[in-house]
Amino acid sequence: MTNLPATEHIEITYLIATALFILSLKWLSSPKTARRGVFAGEIGMLLAVVGTLLHHGIVEYKWILIALVLGSIIGVPLGEVAMTAVPQRTALSHAFGALCVTLVGTAEFYLRAPDVPPFMMAVLSMEVILGSLTFTGSLMAAGKLQEILPQRPITYKGQNFVNLGLLGVAIVVAGVLVAHPEKMQLFPLIVGIPLVFGVMMIIPIGGADMPTVISLLNSYAGLSAAAMGFVLQSKLLIIAGALDGASGFILSVNMSKAMNRSFSNVLFGAFGQEQAGTAAGAKEARSVRSATPEEAAGILAAANKVVIVPGYGMAVAQAQHKVRELFDGLTKRGIDVKFGIHPVAGRMPGHMNVLLAEADIPYDKLLDMDEINGDFAQTDVALVIGANDVTNPAARTDHSSPIFGMPILDVDKARTVMVIKRSMAAGFAGIDNPLYYLDKTLMLFGDAKNFVGSIVRELAGGHE
Amino acid sequence: MKLDLLTSLYVFMLAAFIGFEVIRRVSPLLHTPLMSLTNALDAIAVVGAIILAGEYHEHGALLAKILGTIAIVAATSNIVGGFLITDRMLRMFKASGPKKS
């Protein structure tokens, strides 16, 4: 049996580490104290790792030290990736976390079998099932985000049936093992089937669903670590896993609410099933008004209050630094500029905030959907950059629209709306956006980075 | 200190409640750093991997060592990478207002 340490010293070290972990998350609540939170987490981690190394009945250090060094060597570049690559980095780290948990669980089974008590076998099964499906699922998500794999969702008939069937079989096998832990030859199935399930689960998922999926995988990774805590009888691990699981759960719920998906829809991993084209029936050629950078700059310069609504398209075009110049130019003229950010903008929760913060836009100008929506009625210009579905007023009014009920940014309430867009192509969900045909809307066709750059030049040229 | 099932469940339940209460208060502004930080903290699983790889086992020692070592590498990369990137992101968040650089 490899239970965690029996000495009291190490239990006290773990106790302190646990307190530091909770403080770490508590301090993350505000940008002012957040860095202190990271520091607390680091100290807690250091205490726990050093404590374990010193106090436990460890007989061989060589491989442990090699592994710690190797892990650090891999970890440093993973900590240095560009901010646009943070979603895939996060997915990759979920995969690593899940790999660790699955490997430890597998070894624990073979060390203990055949006499594993039923409860122990149940949590062990949960550990490896959640761990292995999170491992391959996260690798697939990372591949899609990095665009190594096709981002387009791939669906086929009976997909949910196949997926839930696979998961069902794994759970049944786990049930058999709980009753008969001596049937050791069954164990590879509860690792292997979830590995396949993880891949199948991500196949039908498209880019815009990634925020939900990453949060969900986050939650799974946390729960599998908590299950590992049950197996190893480690309070520290149970608590850290529960905190991570809770965090992923809260984010998943936020994301699913922001996309108007029911929670059971999220739990069963059946995202991206939305049937595009339901509302694409009426396709008469409606006219839009377009404008040049010169005209756009003129309208912005005459405004008092501007709200910029960025979407993932802004990040794709790498336009955030030009947007920052625009922000500076307008602020210098005494114009009040804020950013309205939809919870699912970007490829993971909070992604857009990080990208804009990197471009040096002060965080108190970055407002959440709920905070900004009341402001649009008093806004002179709403400038939409690379966002589409999250501004679609059909979500409020058109019962037949697939996105009906999804909370949106009320940009159509602003006096003038300007939308920077490459062309009139429909958004992710393949839904037409009535916003573009409003009389108050001006379409600014072009690449976001170039277009914003041109506006900035016009503003600077048309000196005070 | 041996934990029985019920104690473990109590610990889990209380930690989950604390997690909900603490994390609910995190501003949506910081949801990306939140995820990378919880990821780093979650890599405390390294403790289990270290014990697995380093402890004496009567049988299955080779398996424990191989799987344990790989698990340590995976978890350590999360600890190092997770803390690094979280701090990098948080350094970028600056308030506007009276010129403080």
Q: Is A389 known to be catalytic?
A: yes
Report the interhelical angle of B31-42 vs A351-358 (nearest 10°): 110
CA distance B101 to chain A (A): 11
| Mean pLDDT along residues B58-83 | 92
Which of A354, A367, A370 to mutate to test binding with chain B, by most B CBs within 10 Å of its CB?
A354
Contacts of B51 in chain A (CB under 8 A): 2, 4, 52, 56, 58, 232
When mean pLDDT is compared across A76-90, A331-345, A390-404, the lowest value belongs to: A390-404
For strands A336-341 and A366-368, give the pairing.
parallel
**Closest alpha carbon to A419 in A431, A436, A403:** A436
Residue bearing tokens 């690792």? A191
Contacts of B64 in chain A (CB under 8 A): 107, 111
Question: Is the bond leading into A114 cis (omega within 30 degrees of zero)?
Answer: yes
pLDDT at residue A104 in the model: 95
pTM of the model: 0.88
Q: What is the pLDDT of residues A202-250, one digit of tens each?
A: 888 777 778 888 999 999 999 999 999 999 888 999 999 999 999 999 9
pLDDT at residue A429 in the model: 58
Type of residue at B37: L
Q: What is the pLDDT of residues A9-68, one digit of tens each?
A: 788 999 999 999 999 999 999 888 999 999 999 999 999 999 888 876 788 888 899 999
* Interchain CB distance below 8 Å, B93 and A31: yes
Residue in chain A lying closest to B50 (CA): A64
DSSP of A137-154: HHHHHHHHHTTSS--S--
* Interchain CB distance below 8 Å, A67 and B29: no
Contacts of A246 in chain B (CB under 8 A): 15-16, 19-20, 23
Which of B41, B56, B59, B76 to mutate to test binding with chain A, by most A CBs within 10 Å of its CB?
B41
ipTM of the shown complex: 0.92
Residue in chain A lying closest to B32 (CA): A350
> Among the options A389, A410, A412, A432, which is catalytic?
A389
Q: How far is CA A256 from CA A198, A211, A386, in A?
A: 20, 9, 21
CA distance B42 to chain A (A): 6
3-state secondary structure of A309: strand
| Mean pLDDT along residues A120-131 | 93
Residue in chain A lying closest to B18 (CA): A243
pLDDT at residue A404 in the model: 81
